[in-house]
Structure 1
Amino acid sequence: MPDDIRMSSLPMPSPWAGPLPEAAPPSEMAIYQLPTGTYETRAVFAFKGGSLSDKRPFAATSVLVQHPQGDLLIDAGFGSQVAAHIQTLPRIERAPYRLASTVSEQLKASGYDQSGLCGVLVTHSHWDHVSGLGDLRTPILINEGELRYASEDKGGRVFREVSAGHKINQYQFNDGPYLGFSSSFDMYGDGSVVVVPARGHTTGSVITFVTLPSGKRYAFIGDLTWQLDGIRRRAERPLLLRFLADTDPKLVREDMLRMIALADTMQIVPAHDVTAYDGIPLLPT
């Protein structure tokens, strides 16, 4: 590792040494990625040590979790009105983007019956995670802290628009500690999908842990870091971006260290890293 990157790295936490939480995912359970497009950001703005010449396609990808108790989407990606949603951003934050098929379009193309969806679990309420809600008619799963952020903060403007008419189902972190996080929400009660608070990026942002019948584990970490470099290099966002993008950079750092300690036990998926979804199949059509 180059000296300039090493000097900017977070300290190396001790790898997770305890047992992984028990989970009993049903045999029918599966996950699929639904990529809805990308927008372009330079690595220098994504993580400390990133290069100005390194252009990164930031993913806007939803994940479908199929479960016999009801299917779940993690985030909604870009929607059909994404062009208008980008226009709500300050000019300096607008980036070239590419729209693929929306989640709704992909579900329809596959013959998927959307009545099987129990909801869209948003990792947080920023525009690039919720734009696609406007094309869906399914409940939104959100915790009280994030709903308050989405209702009051300028970062929730698109959410307030696309969530109109949706049923809002609030969940609480009433289950016990999970992998170093103080509390959790076990979506199905079988340990297959467990949500924990990660309140540093927005005040109610979350990480969603998914365990498949094969034993394969994933952590969908939202915008805890924008790229896998944040985990692999132990690299925070650049200083200015930390204070512009995060409500509490200190909490982001603490949760990054927790996830770095878990990196050898599961596949970590930052929402905007295209390569992080490798190995997750596309929805068959």
Structure 2
Amino acid sequence: MASPITVTPWTADLPPARPPAGVRLFHLPTGSYDTRGAFAVAGGSFREQRVFAASAVLVQHPAGDLLIDAGFGADLSEHVGMLARMERAPHRRATTAAEQLRAAGYETGRLLGVLVTHVHWDHVSGLDSLRVPVWINADELRYGREDPHGAVFRHVSAGLPVHEYAFDGPAHLGFPASHDVFGDGSVVIAQAGGHTSGSVVVFVTPASGERFAFIGDLTWQMDGITRRVERSWLMRKLADVDPRLVRENLSRVIALRDRLRIVPSHDLAAYDAIPLLASTFPTPADPR
């Protein structure tokens, strides 16, 4: 079993963020799937069944909105069928991000695109019904186009415009390079490869001032943070392109755990502080 990660808590000031009024976050849960605890995190039990969340997060900003990841799509069964047999797991689809936006009466012209933490199937399946640009960096785009684990991404992103951003900003909260989406510190993408070639952490500061770190799959669930452990040896070999770099980036996140809210993509409870889109926007009246 991997030894616990030794970290020094972050004590320096957090980078300045000046989110304008109206920057808000909403959770769009799109379904879930099951795996064994032993596959979820080092030290997990084969007898324990874990539920993995598949979600999108809407970031509202006066300059335009973004979804962080896309969750499950309308053609989920087809996408699962594209996976290697050992990667298929019992899954449940809820309403897609596109369906939730439509039900909320959301003005889709405000959506600048989907900012993917990385291109694995359970983060991009929902692109099949979100016909908007994909926000992605060059390393992750190359991974998505070439790696066998990018098959679903290649399928659902076909014909979609690509917004390719560069890490043109300085180190950010210990991560080596960054990109400030709006120039006000409210949404900062940090370079955090290792799980995939160009995977990222997205730091978001809404108008409330509370800070969030959407860490993708640096760890799958919160006990990787609280227990300071990686994935199991087998899953590090199978799931990560550079396990050493994942451990390094995970240590950076763990150092921040007392300073902001950390949201691993597949831990449903980690989204508890973010309101559901469906509970915030009134459902449009039936025109009949």
TM range (shorter): over 0.9
Is 1:56 equivalent to 2:60 in the alignment? no
Is 1:232 equivalent to 2:213 in the alignment? no
Residue identity in the other structure for 2:150: G
Match of 1:140 in 2: 134
* TM-score using structure 1 length: 0.96
Q: 2:42, 2:229 within 8 Å by CA — same for their partners in 1? A: yes
Cα offset, 1:10, TM superposition: 2.2
Whole-Å separation in 1 of the counterparts to 2:261 and 2:112: 25
1:80 paired residue among 61, 69, 74: 74
* TM-score using structure 2 length: 0.95
Aligned positions of 1:96-175 closer than 5 A:
96-175=90-169
1:213 paired residue among 207, 215, 221: 207
Match of 2:286 in 1: none
Whole-Å separation in 1 of the counterparts to 2:26 and 2:206: 12
Q: 1:9, 1:233 within 8 Å by CA — same for their partners in 2? A: no
Cα offset, 1:11, TM superposition: 3.2
Aligned positions of 1:2-41 closer than 5 A:
8-41=2-35
Question: Could you tell which deviates more after superposition, 193-202 or 8-17?
Answer: 8-17
Moved over 2 A (4+): 7-12
Match of 1:231, SS state, is helix
- RMSD over aligned Cα, in angstroms? 0.9
Whole-Å separation in 2 of the counterparts to 1:81 and 1:69: 31
Whole-Å separation in 1 of the counterparts to 2:83 and 2:7: 36
Match of 1:244, SS state, is helix
Aligned length: 279
Is 1:195 equivalent to 2:222 in the alignment? no
Cα offset, 1:171, TM superposition: 0.1
Q: Which runs of 5+ in 1 are unaligned?
A: 1-6
Cα offset, 1:8, TM superposition: 4.2
Q: 2:133, 2:161 within 8 Å by CA — same for their partners in 1? A: yes
